[in-house]
């Protein structure tokens, strides 16, 4: 699944366009490397997002096309 779509489905970022812009600005790292929005995300990947002064680091546990709001937390775990 594309990185921008995963960020939206997992609700780490609210909108796909915002996720796309964050990737273009170089604020999203996958496995320690700056990632474009089109990077393929799979279980076991480490995603790091820079929100201003705050960094969020998560490990991808599962990849699903659609998920309920309550189940979105099950797609990743905070590191």
Looking from the CA of 48 toward its CB, the CA atoms found within 13 Å total 11
Confidence class for position 11, pLDDT limits 50, 70, 90: very high
pTM over 0.85: yes
Alpha-carbon distance of 19 to 12, in angstroms, equals 9
CA torsion angle for 29, 35, 38, 44 (degrees, to 10)?
-40
With the C-alpha atoms ordered 46, 78, 70, 29, is the resulting torsion angle positive or negative? negative
pLDDT digits (tens, 9 = 90+) for 28-42: 999 999 999 999 999
Strand order in the sheet with 33-34: 33-34, 28-30, 46-51, 54-60, 76-78
């Amino acid at each position: 699944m594309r990185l921008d779509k995963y960020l939206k489905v997992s609700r780490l970022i609210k909108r796909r366009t915002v996720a796309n812009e964050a990737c273009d600005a170089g604020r999203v790292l996958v496995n320690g490397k700056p990632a474009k929005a089109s990077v393929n995300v799979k279980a076991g990947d480490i995603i790091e997002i820079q929100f201003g002064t705050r960094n969020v680091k998560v490990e991808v546990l599962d990849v699903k096309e659609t998920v309920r709001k309550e189940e979105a937390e099950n797609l990743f775990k905070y590191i």
